[in-house]
Structure 1
Amino acid sequence: MDGRKNNGGHSTKGYAGRKPKEDENRIRGLSINALETIYGSEEAAFEHIAEQAKDSFPHLKLLIEYAYGKPKETKNINTQVEQPLFVEDEFPYDKLSTEALKEIADIYNEIERSN
């Protein structure tokens, strides 16, 4: 028996995709409350991050992303075009054995007959 019937189905069932808006709002509210509890206000929390940013690049990056938005992500996609191994006129037929040439001729003749 292979055991596939016991694998539980899709592990992401019901959890895939974006979180519900009410979950996002609840988490946002908890975050703001935590900032206000620890720093007194959201403004004081950002001022603390700005102080840390003087000596810490991650803090500076976070602060700039909140202030100006995250920079647009760019991706370099390189596509490779397939090139033939041999250009038709330059194929080294003279280096092939007689048997190989005969096999190529047979294949070519089969293709010609099928068309």
Structure 2
Amino acid sequence: MTEPRTLTREQMAALLCYLATAELAVFALQGTWLTETRLVESARLWLARNQLTIGGDDRIAVAQRAHDIAADVVALDNVDSHHPNAIVCRLDDGQLRRRARRENLAQMPRRDPSL
């Protein structure tokens, strides 16, 4: 088994994107946000799967940042937060990428438009 590694800026951006997307998916399907406990656990699972590690306090901070990013995406273009299905039509990965850049993180890879 390989030794866990700490996160690079690119890996932190990928983790934030993963967690924010999870928040948006749950909001779109259920109309509620993930609990902080579930979001932190999602971060722990992502980190373990990628053989990476950060401290517990850092996982909580990343989870909060991801929630803030998701909440900002919902607030874009006056999406009505009481109608969670509205975000499905308006969300694109560019919005998350632009927010990640504003957070001074490395640019995430672009999605292949042919897929």
Q: TM-score, normalised by structure 1?
A: 0.26
Q: Which protein has greater RCO, CA pairs closer than 8 Å, 6+ apart?
A: 2
Kindly indicate which of the two structures has a greater share of residues assigned to helix.
Answer: 2
Q: TM-score, normalised by structure 2?
A: 0.26
